[in-house]
Amino acid sequence: MISYLDRKIDYSSIYFPILFTLTVYLFGGLEKENIFRKYEFYLKFFLSYLISSLLFVGFQFIYLGTIDLILTAYFGMYTIFILPISLLLVYQYVFPSLKNTKILCIYKNDISNYYVKRIADHFFHKVEIIYSPEPISQDTLTEQFIIQNQVNLILIDQPTDASHKLSKQFQIPLQSIGFLSENYLRILPLALMHLNVSYYINSFEARGIDPIIRLLDIFISIFIIILIMPIFLFFMMILFFIQHGQILFKQNRVGYNGKNFTMLKLSTLYYDASSQTLKPTILGAFLRKTRMNELPQLWNVLKGDMSLVGPRPDLVDQYSILSDAIPFYHYRLNALPGITGHAQVYSDYIEMNNIQQASKRLEYDLFYVKNYSVYLYLMTLVKSVAAVLSFKGK
């Protein structure tokens, strides 16, 4: 005979899949159109799993008075492996056989073509980019051409009121290349921003600091400090002897809204007289590889000078040079600088004395500034953990 507690456990077996599926849905993980970014597919599910697991464990403890570890582990397998892999297989192999997206591109420059090709690589389903033997403009576009080429989507570099009116007339979605670059590539292409300056300038209007993100900064920083305090004190003691008492390295950096602040790092370099350059010590090389040399910046976070996530702060002289050389560069200061950032986890290491590479970093930083949110903050933190474990710090 089944006891009341057994019946409650049986009933609870359906709660977690529902809870998990709802959480994934809230993050857009079940909507085909929102799973553009293949490399974010598992991050969505992992973040959803963490949140729904905490809720599920809390539910078990409150409702059942106990935590069923076997049940929790079973649904962990379901959420981490079975459901994501099943959806991935459907999107990767079933959708391409059912749908072939034909994209008509309307633009006047090669740089737009470069971004369109990069965007197409991120579709799960097959993509065919339609090129016409003659340049097509929104003025010469005809219904006959649309029907003949079976166009599913129109991409345009400079959307206008007339082009949006045409999309309604042909009943075909129209999107800007800049918008899809955000959704697929996670960047704001500087070359395309020049074509729609007023739109982007308005989108960069300072929104202040999100209070939820500020609370997360404080709680997570305190948690990390408590977690790593023993090993951190051990490294500081070693540095005290190796660096002759110099443990911290201080730099003047440009922060939120252009306000300068003193950023802290562990001292990891020494002056090599033979080469007349700064080189990392043996311990310093390890600390830089693991990014542990950045840990004193948690104090900057607690003070409010920095956030855990945001554009990396520039040296004062460096910022002066880059802001003069690169358009839109000063908009990086519309968000708190971070210990880690969107550019750090989504792009390769960048040499900041190279204007071209600094421009590349700016495309990622401006994406974060424009789309600043709790969701993007959490996703970047999850990616940062993977970056730290890769031991690719410089």
Give the residue-averaged pLDDT of 151-168: 82
Q: Kindly state the average pLDDT of the residues 10-32.
A: 56
Long-range contacts of residues 33-39, Cβ cutoff 8 Å, at least 24 apart: 35/91, 35/124, 36/122, 36/123, 36/183, 36/184, 37/122, 37/183, 37/184, 37/186, 38/122, 38/124
The predicted pLDDT at position 46 comes to 65
Integer Rg of the chain from CA? 25
Q: Which residue has the higher pLDDT, 340 or 348?
A: 340
For β-strands 307-309 and 269-272, DSSP reports them as unpaired
DSSP, collapsed to helix, strand or coil, labels residue 279 as strand
Q: Is the pLDDT of residue 72 over 60?
A: yes
Instruction: State yes or no: pLDDT of 2 exceeds 60.
Output: no
pTM of the model: 0.73
CA separation for the pair 140, 332 (Å, rounded): 40
In this structure, which amino acid lies at residue 71? L
Cβ 155 vs Cβ 184: under 8 Å: no
Strand 277-280 relative to strand 269-272: parallel, antiparallel, unpaired?
antiparallel
Tell me, what's the pLDDT at 4?
41
Residue 66's pLDDT is 72
pLDDT value at 50 more than 60: yes
- Return d(Cα 60, Cα 332) in angstroms, integer: 44
pLDDT band of 45, cuts 50, 70, 90 = low
Pair 104, 73: CB distance under 8 Å: no
- Residue 269: pLDDT above 80? no
What pLDDT, on the 0 to 100 scale, is given for residue 364? Answer: 93
pLDDT top residue among 112 and 299: 299
Domains of the chain: 4-97 (no CATH), 99-185 (3.40.50.10700), 211-389 (no CATH)
Alpha-carbon distance of 44 to 88, in angstroms, equals 12
Does residue 107 carry a pLDDT above 60?
Answer: yes
> What are the tens digits of pLDDT across the range 297-336?
999 999 999 999 999 999 999 999 999 999 999 999 999 9
Residue 132 pLDDT > 90, yes or no? Answer: no
Measured between alpha carbons, how far is 111 from 114 in angstroms, rounded to an integer?
5
Please spell the DSSP secondary structure of 207-222, one letter per residue: ----HHHHHHHHHHHH
Q: How many CA atoms lie within 13 A of 132 on its CB side?
A: 18
DSSP code string of 280-312: E-HHHHHHHHTTGGGTTHHHHHHHTS-EEESPP
